[in-house]
Structures are given as C-alpha cells and as structure tokens.
Amino acid sequence: MHAPEAAKEEVEYAALVSLDWADQEHAWALQPNGGGAVEQGTLQNTPEAVEEWAQMLARRFGGRLVAVAIEQRRGAVIAMLSKYAHLALYPIHPSTLANYRKSFYPSGAKSDPGDTLLQLELLLRHRDRLLVLKPDTVETRTLQFLVEQRRKRVNEKTAYSNALTSWLKQIFPQVLCWFNKPASPAVAKFLERWPTLEHLRQARQATVRKFLREHGRRNEERIEQQLAEVECAVEATHDQALLKAGVLAVRQLLGLIAQLHQAIAECDRQIHEVAEAHPDFAIIKSFPGAGAAMAPRLLAALGTQRDRFASANDLQCYSGIAPVKSSSGQQTWVHWRWACPKFIRQTFHEWAQHSMKKCTWAREYYQQQRDRKKSHHAALRALAFKWLRILYRCWKAHRTYDELSWLSAREQRRPVPTNAAKCSPNSRGLEIQWKKVAGFSKPEAASS
C-alpha cells in the first residue's frame, strides 16, 4: 500500500494518462503535454500487457514522468503499475468520478471510454486537488497489509462464531450456558465427542467429569452442577432433519474457526516481528493502550513520512476522526466524515477505548463527554481527537509519550482560576460575599 501525499510543487509531466480498469480489459486515454489530440485504446489485464504498455510510455517520452489517473487506490492494477518509476499514480475516488459524471450526464449514461475522458479531464484541470501516491517503507507497508489481513480474519471468525451460536440455539442450546465462549477449542472438542444432548447423556459421568477437568474446569462444585444439569436437560428439538443438518453445520463451522485461529496466530507472529523492527515502534509503544494488537495498527496508520501531514488537524481529518461542519442558509449541522479510510478511523477509535484502561485523564475526559449527554462512540471519537494531537506531536518530533510532561504542560496552559472565597472590591465600594441557601451558594452584596 502507498501513502498519499499532496503534491507541494507543480511537476511537469510528459503526458497525462487515465486508466479505467476492469477485470479483463482496461480502457485508457492519453494527452501529451502541450496539447494535441487525445489518444484512446485498450489494454489487457495481464502483467505482460501492462509491462509492454508501461515500457512503450517510457520509450515514447524518454523516461520522463507520466501522470496516470486511475479509479483505484489498491488492487491488482495499482500493484502492477507501482513498480514503474516513470509513472506517477493519481487515485481518484469512485464517488468523485461518479459525481463528476453526473454533472455532465444526468441521464446516467456511462461507458468505459467515456470514463477515461472524464478522469483525464479531472487530471488535467484539477490535478492540484488530487493526491499522488508515494510508497512508504517496506516495514510500514508490510504492517499495513498484515494488520488489515488480521482484522479480516477476526471478522470472519466472528461471523462464523455467530453462525455457530445460531445453530447451537436450535439443536443444543445448553452448550451456550455451560461454556462462555462457544468458539473456543474446548467447545470444539466437546461437540466433536458429543454433538447433541442425546450423545452426551449416553456418556458416563466420570468421562464427562474428566473431560471438564482436562479443559480448564477447576471448580468441582461447578462440575457437579453441570453434570446434574445434563440429567435434567430437555432436548431442544426432535426434528431429525434439523439435527442431521445442524450437526454437520456445527462441525464445519468449528473446523473453519479452528483454521482461523491458526491464521490469526500466524498473523500475530509476523506482525510482532515486523513491528519490533519498525523505527517508530518505541514511540508508539509508549502510549497507553498501544498493546500487541493496537501498536502495529497505529504504526501502519501513521507510516514514516513525516511530511505526509502538515498538522495534527490534517491527520484528524484524513483519519475521519474530525467531524464535518455543513451549513446551508441559516442551518448549520455537524456530522462525522463519510469518506475516509474506514480501517484507520476504526484503529484510532478502538485505541481511544483501550487507552482508558491505562490512562486516568483519558477516563476522566471520556466521562466528561458522557456527562454532556454524548453517546459512547461520540465520546470515544472526542477522546481520539484529543489523542491524535498528542500522537502527532510525538510522532513528528521522534519522541516517546511522557504523561507527566503532558499533564504539566496542560496545567501551565490552564488559566489561573479566581478564588471566589476571597472578597474582591467592586466599583461601588462593595464586596461580594457568598451565602449558602438550601444547599446552594449565591452571592450577596455587603457594604465595606
């Protein structure tokens, strides 16, 4: 993956190219620098065809830079084009192109050659508002791929776990009461031996008792209680069709979950190795809540390009943590950002929640937001907004987080509070004294 960076100075390109990618064949349009007729063509979606096309551009324009607009930020086409040094890639968001198309074709007409011309026009007229992709370090990009892959495996495991719970509710709901985590290895072994309540009743109590002891049950009273529950348990269904299909589905789901457990463990191992070698690992690791799972995700979100964000506000807006203010006429409203890197926003959002377990001021700030009637997630975004300012400063200065220094600086920035208990003379020669009435304090004037 690449890190987007705004072009700070105008680069003179030998040509401007737009590419409308597809699964089998890409459509392209080319405009040489200095004007001339727009050329159009197609390109097969194979590494060999892309190689020939890229080398043709290099020979034709003498190896000078060529700007390429493409409606993709990550994927097979980006992977194939990113290895060519003479191609500067400008990803265009699909919604940007769709809305631009609607401006000229409100009827909804669409074609691949037409989209290439629209992308070329965006690149020609609005290049200063587009972002050029710039590769980050190998360590950072490896982390970016690994942490996102791990998250996908976790989401898949959650989906399969929910499906497993659904089936168990139909054929063997008692398992959900006897075990806290239905997707755990202990439950998998339990259901492998006794897939239904009928199978469990046919087993000897000594066998079941031994199994529970071998799989983490240390409370003898709880073991005996569970054995008693087996004796008085009632089968959820006698439908043989449902039982046969359910037992098969449960076994398949348990097998998939076991494979995902292994895949997540392998991702964790590789993520740990890459994160430990990252030059910014010590900085990120110093923050509260940046543990084994969150620290690599924060490293991947920030990267190593310090000039990528000009200010903390740029980082807050890019990540989607900063809200958006909209106004029309006399109406003004604030909403969260719809277009942003969702995984990065999720990373900072979850980190803010983890930080409250380790940081006192973070818990207090979250509670202040809740006291203001903000929802749980709105309060977390407010906390993440505050954390990003601190994270950005430390990341920019290559410094680890020191909570005592930050708290000291915060106290220095606070205005000195006035002591209301002391009398202060007013313009009429009176002083304000405080009188407590019915548990409330209110001021009253007294002559000096």
Convert the pLDDT of each residue in 82-108 to its tens digit: 889 899 999 988 888 888 898 888 888
Predicted local distance difference test score (pLDDT) of residue 354: 96
Predicted local distance difference test score (pLDDT) of residue 162: 95
Question: Tens digits of per-residue pLDDT, 258-303?
Answer: 999 999 999 999 999 999 999 999 999 999 999 999 999 999 999 9
Question: Tens digits of per-residue pLDDT, 5-62?
Answer: 444 457 889 999 999 888 888 999 999 987 778 999 999 989 999 999 999 999 999 9
Predicted local distance difference test score (pLDDT) of residue 438: 39
Predicted local distance difference test score (pLDDT) of residue 432: 38
- Distance from chain centroid for Cα 122: 29
Go through 186-199 and write b for each residue having 16 or more CB atoms within 10 A of its CB, e for each that does not: bbbebbeebbbbee
**Quick one: residue 436, left, alpha or beta (phi over 0 = left, psi -120 to 50 = alpha)?**
beta
Question: Tens digits of per-residue pLDDT, 147-194?
Answer: 999 999 999 999 999 999 999 999 999 999 888 888 888 999 999 999
Query: Does the residue 142 lie in any domain?
Result: no
Average pLDDT, the chain: 86
Same domain? 131 vs 160: no
Domain of residue 192, CATH code: 1.10.287
**Residue scoring higher pLDDT (441 or 204):** 204
Same domain? 195 vs 310: no
Same domain? 153 vs 188: yes
Question: How many structural domains does the chain have?
Answer: 3
Give the range of the structural domain holding residue 71, as residue numbers without chain letter. 2-135
Query: Does the residue 226 lie in any domain?
Result: yes
Predicted local distance difference test score (pLDDT) of residue 418: 58
The domain boundary residue, chosen from 241, 274, 307: 274
